Amino acid sequence: FSSGFLAVGAAATDEKVEEAALPFDKRRHGMIVGMGGVAIVVESGDSARNRGINPICEVLGTTIANSAFHATRLEVDHIRMIMEDMVAKAEKKWGIDRHQIAAETVFISHETYTPARGGSASAEINALRYVFGDSADKIIIANTKGMTGHAMAVGIEDVLAIKTLETGLVPPVPNFKVVDPELGALNLSKGGAYPVKYALRLGAGFGSQISMSLLRWTPVGDGVRRRPDQLGYKYRIADQQRWNEWLKEIGNKDNPEMEVFKRTLRIKDPMADKLNDVEEAPQIVQKPVAPVQAPAAPKAEAVAEVQTVVEENPVKDKILNLIAEKTGYPVDMLNPELDLEADLGIDTVKQAELFADIRGEYGIERDDNLQLSEFPTLNHIIQFVFDRRPDLVQAPVVKVAESQPVSTPPATEPPAAGNEVLEKVINLIAEKTGYPADMLDPELDLEADLGIDTVKQAELFAEIRGEYTIERDDTLQLSEFPTLQHIVQFVFDKRPDLKKTVVAQPAAVAAPAQTVPVVEPVASAPVSSGDGVQEKVVALIAEKTGYPADMLDPELDLEADLGIDTVKQAELFAEIRGEYGIERDDTLQLSEFPTLQHIVQFVYDKRPDLNQVVVATPAPAAVAVAEPVATPVEPVAPASGDGVLEKVIELIAEKTGYPADMLDPELDLEADLGIDTVKQAELFAEIRGEYGIERDDTLQLSEFPTLNHIVQFVYDRRPDLQNQVTTSVSEPVQEPPVVAPVAPVTETAGNEVLEKVVALIAEKTGYPADMLDPELDLEADLGIDTVKQAELFAEIRGEYGIERDDTLELSEFPTLNHIVQFVFDRRPDLQKAVVAEPVSPSVPEPTVETSQPSDDSVLEKVVALIAEKTGYPADMLDPDLDLEADLGIDTVKQAELFAEIRGEYGIERDDTLDLSEFPTLNHIVQFVYERRPAVKSESAEAVAAPETSMPEPDLVQGDIDSVDSIPRRVPVPQLRPELTYCKPSGVQLDADSHVIVMTDQGGVGKALVTAIKKTGATIQVIDDAPEAEELKKRLEKWNAEKPITGVFWLPALDAAGDFSQLKYDEWKAATHLCVKLLYNTMRELVMMGNENVFLISATRMGGNFGYDESGALAPLGGAVCGFTKAYKREHPEAQVKVVDFEKSHSGFSFSNLRD
C-alpha cells in the first residue's frame, strides 16, 4: 500500500519522525502512513431528546466532491469553491455569519506534509483565505498527522473535531519550525485551551476527492466544559427521568445499571457473575441514583444458597499479566489462542525475555534445546509451565462466588494537594511535549496519550534522577511506569522523605475494606553455568543492550536477535580484548563471530589458559561505592617523553590511518580527524583496558574533544602515571628557538623548495603544477583543510629533515609562499643555495620510472586488476593516471588492490606501508620491482625477445554502401576567432553572478571554480549525486539567497567505462549523474522563474562529438549534448554551449569559457 505513495513521490523515508512529519512546514517532503480505528454515533436531534441526553455537537453542514483533476494532486480552485458552497449554505440555514464565528472556529486540517507541489497544505490555506477573507487568520488550525501519521480513511480527525469541541482543548501542530513563504504566517495551534465553538473539518484524497463538515458545540445545562478525566455520558444526561425510562425500555429491566465490560458500554446482566465462562467481575460505572457508596455486606442466606464452579488457573493469570506488561495490551483482551508474533507483535527477543521471566517465576531450569517457535500461543506457554511443573495443575474447585473478596490490582496513590513532585513531573512533561500543564492528568498514558516514546521517557527519567539525586538503576524497566502517577510513585519509592512532606488530605469515611494479602514478587536468580568468560561476555552484552543477563542465550544471534550492529560489536570486542589482555588482530572478521558462543570461543582461542573447568562460587555481595565526581580540569600540555600521549597517538593513528607525527595534541577529534562518537567510544574502551580504568557511565565524551583532553582523562584516573612522567622529564628542557616572522619570499628561478612544495600540493589536490600560484590560499583556493595541511607539513619535514615542533600553528602558513618560508626558516642553508645558484633550467628529481618495458607483465597485471575493479577498458588505463582523482579508486579499494598484488607476487605484508605514496599505476609497478627485483629482470628479458606478430582478425566485411548514401551533417572543427570579432554573449561573470558548477573527477571543475572566483561571482558546487528531492532543496535554498544565473555541467568529462561491460546499477548511476540530474537542475530553475539561465556543458566524446571515424568515446556525452541542444531550442534567448574534448585533452582550457 505504501509503495504506491513512494512511487509517486508522496511518502517520506526519513529515519527520524520529527524530520519527516512536518505539517505546514517548508521542509515537508512526504507523508508517513499511520493506522488506527474510530467510531462516531450520529443520530437525529429528536432521538437524543427522547432519551434525555445532550449531544456533544451538532452537524451544520457536510459535503463530498471529486473533480478528477489529477492522479495525485489536489485542485486548488475546486476545493475553495466546495468550501465556499458549504459555508454559504450553513449561513443561510442556521443564521450564522462566517466572519463572526471565525474567532471561535478550529480548522481540523487534512495536511499530510506531502511535497508542496499540489499538496494539501496550499489547497487548504488558499480555501480558508478565499472563503473567510481577512477573518481566516482568526481561525485556529489543528493537525495531528504529525503525531499519528496518515491513518488512511480512519477518520481520526473527525473524532478530533468532536473531542476538541467537547473539551475546548486543541492539540498542537508538531515539529513546525520553518515558515513556508508560499503559505505565509499561519495561526497554528500551540496546544491547550481555546474558545472554540465551531469545528471545520476537511478531508482530501488523490484526484481532488473532498469531504467537509461544519460542526457546532452544544453546551450542557451549566455551560461548563469537562476535563478529559471527567468525560463520558453521565454529565450529558439532561433529563434523568427520560434517561431511566429509555434504559428500562431497551434493557427490559426495572432498575438497569450501566457498566463497561471489555471496553464495551452495556447494561449489566445480574446473572453474568453466575455464568461459568465469566473470568472477571465487570466494573460498575453508573446507576441512575446517588453517588456509589461502599458495598454493603452480603446477606448470609444468599451466601449459603448460591455456589458457582470457578476454574482457578493462577498460571494463566500470571502469564497474561506478564504479556500485558510487555505489550501494553489490557489483560481482558488477551485471548489464550492469540499468536504471540502475528497478533501481539512479540518477536523472538521479547519471547526469550518472557520465558526468562516465567522460568524465574516458577523455578524452571533453563533448557538450551528449547525451541521458542514451538510455543506460538499463550496456551502453549501455559502448557509449557504445566509440563515442567505438574504440581501446579489444579482441578476445578467449588467456591462461594458471592463471598469471594474482589482482588483489586494494586494502584498508585492519587496525588495529594501540594504534591510538589507531581507538579515537577508535570512541568517536565509539559516542557517535552508542548502540552499545557493544566491538561496533563496524572492518569494519562505517556505513550498512548502524550506521544512520549521510550527515548523521551529515558530522558525524562534522567532529568528526574538529577532533580531528586536518585541513583541510576540499570535494572529499571521503563514499561513499568506508563503514567505520570507511576513516575511520581517511583520518586516516592526512591525518596520516601519526599512523601512525608506531602500534606495528607482528609479522606472520605468508607466502610472498612477487607485486607487482601499482597504477594511480593521474588527476583529470579540467573542461571549460571560457572563459566567466567561466558558470564563476562553476557554481562557486557547486557550492559550494551539492556536485556537481562538471564535471557541471553549463548546461541542468540548478535544482530538478528539482539540488535547489536557492527559498530557495537567492534566496541564489544575492544572491551573483551582489554579485559583479557588480547592483542588486536587487524585480520579479524567480525562476521565470523555471530553469536555469544562464538565470542566465548574467540577468548578461549586467544587465551587457552582460561579454558578450564571453573568451580562456581557464590557471588560476593555488591557493595555500593560512591564514585568521586570528577571536576573538569583544563588539559595541560603533555611533556616530552609522555608515554600516555604516545599511546593515545598510537591508538588514534591506528584508527584513522594518519601518521603519528602529524597528530598534534590540540587537534579536534571530530572536526580535524573525523573521529565520530562511535569511534571515540571504542577509543576510550581501549584506553580503559590499557590503563586498567573502570568504566564510568556518567562520562560525557563531548567533554574530551582533543588528544590533550584524553591524556588528562588518563591522568585524572591514574595520577601515578603523571608522577612517572614528571620524574622522567625533570631535566630542564631547552625552549625551541623563537623564529621572528619573516615576509614570505617570492618565487625565484631555481627555487627547488618551491618546486617541491608545488609538486606535493599538486599530488594532493590534483591541480596541475603550472596552475599553482605561490600566493594561492591553501584552504580558500585549493580546498586543503587542516588535516591535509598537517599531512603536507609531515611530508615536508620528512623531505628536509626538519624536527617536529608541537608549538607550530598551521594557521600561520596560509599560502604556498608561507610554507616555503617555513622551510627556509628551519633550513637556512637551503635558502643560501637558492641565492647562490645561477638561474638554470630546473631538473625534475628522479622519483618513479614513468616508462616501462613494452612487454611489462607487471604493468599488464596491474592494469588488468584495475580494469576489473573499475570497469574501465584496459587500453584506456594510462600508467600515469591517478588512482583516486582519475579512476575513483579510494583507500579501501587501493588496499584490496595491494592485497591482490601481494598474493600474485608473493610479497609479504608491510604494516608500515603508506598507500598515499603510490598514487599512480607506475608507482604500483615500481613497488613490485622494489619488493621482487627478479620480476624486473624477467620483464627486461622479455623485452629483448623477438615480438610475435599477431594474426589479423578475420572480420566479416559488410556492404555499407547504403549507409554511406544517407546524408549526414558532420561538424567540421573551425579555429575560434579572436574574441574581439565575436558577437557578445550577453553573459558577464561578476559580483552579481550566481552560478552552479557540477564538477567532474578529473580536476576540471576545481580549476573552473578557482578561475570563476577571481571574477567575484558567487559559486555553488555540486560534487555528489543527490536524489531529485535533495537537489531541489539545494536549488531552492541557493536561489532564495540570490537568483541563479548560470550552470556549468562537467560530469560527462569522466569516462564511464566500456558500456558493454557495465552492470545495470552502474549504468543507472552513470545516467543519473550525467543526464537526469542535468534535466532536474534546469527544470527546477525554470520552474523557479529563472527562464534564461545560461548552460555550458562539457563532454569527452573525442573532440568531434563522435562524428569522426573513431566514433564517440563516451556515449553518455551524447545524451548531455542532446539535452543541451534541446534546452537551447526551448530557450532561444539563453546562452547555451556544449564543448567536446578529445581523450588526451586535459580540459583545463574549458575554464576559459567564463570569458
Q: Give the CATH number of the domain where residue 101 resides.
A: 3.40.47.10
Task: Report the pLDDT value the prediction gives residue 620, as an integer from 0 to 100.
Answer: 39
227 and 246 together in one domain: no
Where does residue 189 rank: exposed (0-12), middle (13-18), buried (19+ CB within 10 A)?
buried
Task: Report the pLDDT value the prediction gives residue 138, as an integer from 0 to 100.
Answer: 93
What 3-state DSSP class applies to 345?
coil
Instruction: Choose one of 590, 610, 630: the last residue of a domain.
Output: 610
813-832 pLDDT tens trace: 888 888 989 888 888 888 75
228 and 246 together in one domain: no
Distance between CA 843 and CA 761 in Å, rounded?
18
Distance between CA 1004 and CA 1053 in Å, rounded?
9
721-735 pLDDT tens trace: 876 554 443 343 344
In a domain, 510, yes or no: no
Of 59-73, 429-443, 1065-1079, give the range with the top mean pLDDT.
Answer: 1065-1079
What 3-state DSSP class applies to 121?
helix
Q: Let me know: does 319 contact 385? Beta carbons within 8 Å.
A: yes
User: What proportions of the chain, in percent to the nearest 5, are helix, strand and coil?
Assistant: 45, 10, 45
570 and 673 together in one domain: no
What are the beta bridge partners of residue 1048?
Answer: 997, 1096
Q: Let me know: does 1020 contact 997? Beta carbons within 8 Å.
A: yes
Stated length of the chain: 1155
In a domain, 126, yes or no: yes
Q: Is the pLDDT of residue 1036 over 80?
A: yes
Task: Report the pLDDT value the prediction gives residue 729, as an integer from 0 to 100.
Answer: 39
CA-closest candidate to residue 862, choices 941, 943, 920 = 920
The share of the chain scoring above pLDDT 90, in percent, equals: 12
Q: Let me know: does 471 contact 625? Beta carbons within 8 Å.
A: no
Distance between CA 120 and CA 107 in Å, rounded?
14
880 and 865 together in one domain: yes
Instruction: Choose one of 555, 585, 610: the last residue of a domain.
Output: 610
694 and 560 together in one domain: no
Q: Is the pLDDT of residue 869 over 60?
A: yes
Residue 116's pLDDT band, with cuts at 50, 70 and 90, is low
Q: Is the pLDDT of residue 678 over 90?
A: no
What is the arithmetic mean of pLDDT over 738-742?
A: 38
12 and 91 together in one domain: yes
828 and 878 together in one domain: no
Residue 509's pLDDT band, with cuts at 50, 70 and 90, is very low
Q: Is the pLDDT of residue 640 over 70?
A: no
Averaged confidence pLDDT in the chain: 76
Helix (H) or strand (E) holding 721: helix 719-728
Q: Let me know: does 675 contact 655? Beta carbons within 8 Å.
A: yes
What are the beta bridge partners of residue 259?
Answer: 266, 284
What is the arithmetic mean of pLDDT over 738-746?
A: 40
CA-closest candidate to residue 999, choices 940, 1070, 1048 = 1048
Q: Is the pLDDT of residue 925 over 60?
A: yes
Of 227-241, 848-862, 877-891, 1031-1045, give the range with the top mean pLDDT.
Answer: 1031-1045
Distance between CA 1042 and CA 994 in Å, rounded?
7
Helix residue ranges per DSSP H, 906-1047: 921-931, 933-944, 961-964, 1004-1013, 1028-1041
260-295 pLDDT tens trace: 777 788 887 655 554 444 444 444 444 443 333 433
Q: Which residues of 92-105 are buried (b: 16+ CB within 10 A; e: fewer)?
A: eeeebebeebbbbb
Distance between CA 830 and CA 753 in Å, rounded?
8
Residue 305's pLDDT band, with cuts at 50, 70 and 90, is very low
> 390 lies in which domain range?
313-395
In a domain, 197, yes or no: yes
258-261 vs 283-286, strand pairing mode: antiparallel
Q: Let me know: does 952 contact 978? Beta carbons within 8 Å.
A: no
1096-1134 pLDDT tens trace: 998 888 777 777 766 666 778 888 988 998 888 888 888
What are the beta bridge partners of residue 1022?
Answer: 998
N-terminal to C-terminal alpha carbon distance within the chain: 54
607-625 pLDDT tens trace: 888 875 443 334 333 333 3
Sequence-distant (≥ 6) Cβ neighbours of residue 611 within 8 angstroms: 604
Q: Which residue has the higher pLDDT, 852 or 1021?
A: 1021
Distance between CA 640 and CA 803 in Å, rounded?
13
Task: Report the pLDDT value the prediction gives residue 722, as an integer from 0 to 100.
Answer: 74
Q: Let me know: does 57 contact 165? Beta carbons within 8 Å.
A: yes
CA-closest candidate to residue 196, choices 216, 176, 182 = 216
Sequence-distant (≥ 6) Cβ neighbours of residue 1029 within 8 angstroms: 9, 29, 115
Return the ∠ at Cα 405 (arms to 401 and 408), rounded to 5°.
Answer: 125
Q: Is the pLDDT of residue 852 over 70?
A: no
Task: Report the pLDDT value the prediction gives residue 134, as an integer from 0 to 100.
Answer: 92
What 3-state DSSP class applies to 1082?
helix
Of 364-373, 773-782, 868-877, give the range with the top mean pLDDT.
Answer: 364-373
In a domain, 620, yes or no: no
Distance between CA 388 and CA 385 in Å, rounded?
5
Distance between CA 147 and CA 459 in Å, rounded?
19
358 and 340 together in one domain: yes
The share of the chain scoring above pLDDT 70, in percent, equals: 77
Rounded to two decimals, what is the model's pTM?
Answer: 0.33
In what order do the strands lie in the sheet containing 1018-1022?
1018-1022, 994-998, 1046-1049, 1094-1099, 1136-1140
Distance between CA 346 and CA 328 in Å, rounded?
11
Task: Report the pLDDT value the prediction gives residue 140, as an integer from 0 to 100.
Answer: 93
In a domain, 508, yes or no: no
CA 241 distance to own-chain centroid: 60
> What does the DSSP assignment read for 701-720?
GGG--BHHHHHHHHHHH-HH
70-107 pLDDT tens trace: 766 777 788 888 999 999 999 999 999 999 999 999 99
In a domain, 594, yes or no: yes
**HSE value, Cβ hemisphere, 13 Å, CA-based, for 964:** 5
* Cell, residue 360: 524465574
CA distance readout (Å), 891 to 398, 795, 925: 79, 19, 18
CA distance readout (Å), 807 to 429, 592, 637, 750, 907: 50, 45, 10, 31, 40
Residue 9's pLDDT band, with cuts at 50, 70 and 90, is low
221 and 252 together in one domain: no
Q: Is the pLDDT of residue 962 over 60?
A: no
CA distance readout (Å), 832 to 309, 709, 797: 112, 42, 19
Q: Let me know: does 78 contact 210? Beta carbons within 8 Å.
A: yes
DSSP 576: H
Amino acid at 294: A
1031 and 932 together in one domain: no
Domain total for the chain? Answer: 9
Task: Report the pLDDT value the prediction gives residue 512, as an integer from 0 to 100.
Answer: 38
Task: Report the pLDDT value the prediction gives residue 75, as an integer from 0 to 100.
Answer: 78
Residue 890's pLDDT band, with cuts at 50, 70 and 90, is confident
Q: Let me know: does 544 contact 571? Beta carbons within 8 Å.
A: yes
In a domain, 970, yes or no: no
Sequence-distant (≥ 6) Cβ neighbours of residue 228 within 8 angstroms: 167, 169, 439, 441, 444
Residue 629's pLDDT band, with cuts at 50, 70 and 90, is very low
> Looking only at Cα atoms, what is the longest distance across the chain?
129
Distance between CA 241 and CA 50 in Å, rounded?
11
DSSP 1133: T
Helix residue ranges per DSSP H, 618-660: 643-656
- Please give the radius of gyration of the chain, using alpha carbons only, rounded to the nearest integer: 39
Task: Report the pLDDT value the prediction gives residue 994, as an integer from 0 to 100.
Answer: 93
193 and 323 together in one domain: no
Q: CATH number of the domain at 594, please.
A: 1.10.1200.10
Residue 1033's pLDDT band, with cuts at 50, 70 and 90, is very high
Task: Report the pLDDT value the prediction gives residue 591, as an integer from 0 to 100.
Answer: 81
822 and 865 together in one domain: no
In a domain, 403, yes or no: no
Helix (H) or strand (E) holding 151: strand 150-151
Task: Report the pLDDT value the prediction gives residue 196, as an integer from 0 to 100.
Answer: 93
* Cell, residue 117: 507541489
Instruction: Choose one of 211, 235, 259: the last residue of a domain.
Output: 235
